[in-house]
Amino acid sequence: MAACLMFATEEYALPILRPLAAAARARGQQVGWIVPDAVATHLAPGEQRITSLKAAKALQPEAVYCAANWVSPRLPGVKVQVFHGFNAEKRDPGRGHFAIRGFFDLYVTQGPATTQPFEALAKEHGYFAVRETGWPKLDPLFIQPPPPQDPSILVRDGRPVVMYASTFSHRLSAAPAMVEPLRKMIARGDRQWLLTLHPKCSDELVAAYRGLEAENARFYTSDKLIELERAADVLVCDTSSVIHEFAVMNKPVVTIANRVPHPFMLDVPTPDDVDAAIDRALTHPPELMAAIKAHADNIHPSHDGHASERVLDAVAAFKRGDFGKLGRKPLNLIRRYKASRDLPALLPGGA
């Protein structure tokens, strides 16, 4: 039986890789998960954790799908970079989304905005391939018919539904400064609120946001992100790839001091400016909506809910040799050492 591995170092990787795992199982593949203990507690029944290098090799996976920026070279199979988010432009290109670290054989990209730079990098480096597939995480947003709404999500009652999310990066996060403005807007009662934070945010900040819960406001952990995005009319955020996920649905985004603001964002300088920006977003200004559509078409044009199947097809093409002869990955001893050092936390049974 064919098999594959899902490499998930953080909890936020689970909703990225689960649609891909479901597509692999539908094709008769056995799926194993390589995760640390903290993520293992969030695996669903039937999601098999692989806890040793011996077990990983015994599975004979044809591919390792990664929602992280590294993977151990010791794992068998084609190393596939699936990405943990869109390019949120938190860092300079060479240090951020387009950093080439020498771990991967195949990059499966989300849309033209990332495909073209990675194709140029593939030509430059010569040892990896690139295929535009769309992003598996977004398959549940577009699959038809849409799944029933998660019963934990606030039931829409006619008021606008606003989602709040934030990055965990201290220099870019508006979350601490937004606590009191959110409290005032929630107390007014004219909107419904769906609140979430990045799983790496501090316990103190999470507690503060849980304290904002009210009849018209609920806090959710990040594993509900897709459900929240589907339910909301507008998103309030800072500098995070969640912005781009939301815009792909052609819905407006209010950003707070975004590091690189774009025309598709309603960017405001301070938390005090958010309230009026939400009102404007809810009117769907034509110029804003046109900018959102143009951006969505550039970062993720596929809306058919079948990115996962295209990722599997790309791996099959890679194994057939459709990408031609590729060079050997560089022998980067420092990164290989770091990968070997970090692997035991993911394989407690022996790496």
Nearest alpha carbon to residue 312 among 61, 24, 105: 24
Query: Is the predicted pLDDT of residue 117 greater than 80, yes or no?
Result: yes
pLDDT attached to residue 95: 55
pLDDT digits (tens, 9 = 90+) for 255-308: 999 989 999 999 999 999 999 999 999 999 999 999 999 999 999 999 999 999
Written as six digits, the tokens of 142 are: 């577009």
**Rounded to 5 degrees, what are φ and ψ at 235?**
-115, 140
Task: Return all residues near 339 (Cβ < 8 A) that are at least 6 apart.
Answer: 70, 71, 72, 73, 74, 103
pLDDT digits (tens, 9 = 90+) for 38-80: 999 999 999 999 999 999 999 999 999 999 999 999 999 999 9
* pLDDT band (50, 70, 90) for residue 157: very high
pLDDT attached to residue 88: 64
Looking at the domain that runs over 161-299, which CATH code has it been given? 3.40.50.2000
Q: What is the pTM of this model?
A: 0.88
pLDDT attached to residue 92: 57
Mean pLDDT of 199-215: 93
As a whole-number percent, the residues of the chain with pLDDT over 90 amount to: 77
As a whole-number percent, the residues of the chain with pLDDT over 70 amount to: 97
pLDDT digits (tens, 9 = 90+) for 84-100: 888 766 555 555 678 88
Written as six digits, the tokens of 108 are: 């499966």
- 351 vs 349: CA distance, rounded Å: 7
Residue 15 near residue 223, CB atoms below 8 Å: yes
pLDDT attached to residue 94: 52
* Annotated domain spans of the chain: 3-141+305-344, 161-299
pLDDT digits (tens, 9 = 90+) for 46-56: 999 999 999 99
Cα radius of gyration rounded to whole Å, the chain: 21
Is-same-fold flag (3-141+305-344; 161-299)?
yes
Longest dimension (CA), the chain: 62
pLDDT attached to residue 305: 94
Written as six digits, the tokens of 194 are: 């769906």
Query: Is the predicted pLDDT of residue 35 greater than 70, yes or no?
Result: yes
Q: How many CB atoms lie within 10 A of CB 242?
A: 25
Mean pLDDT of 322-334: 88
Selected from 3.40.50.1950, 3.40.50.11820, 3.40.50.300, 1.20.1250.20, the CATH number assigned to the domain covering 3-141+305-344 reads 3.40.50.11820
Average pLDDT across the chain, whole number: 92
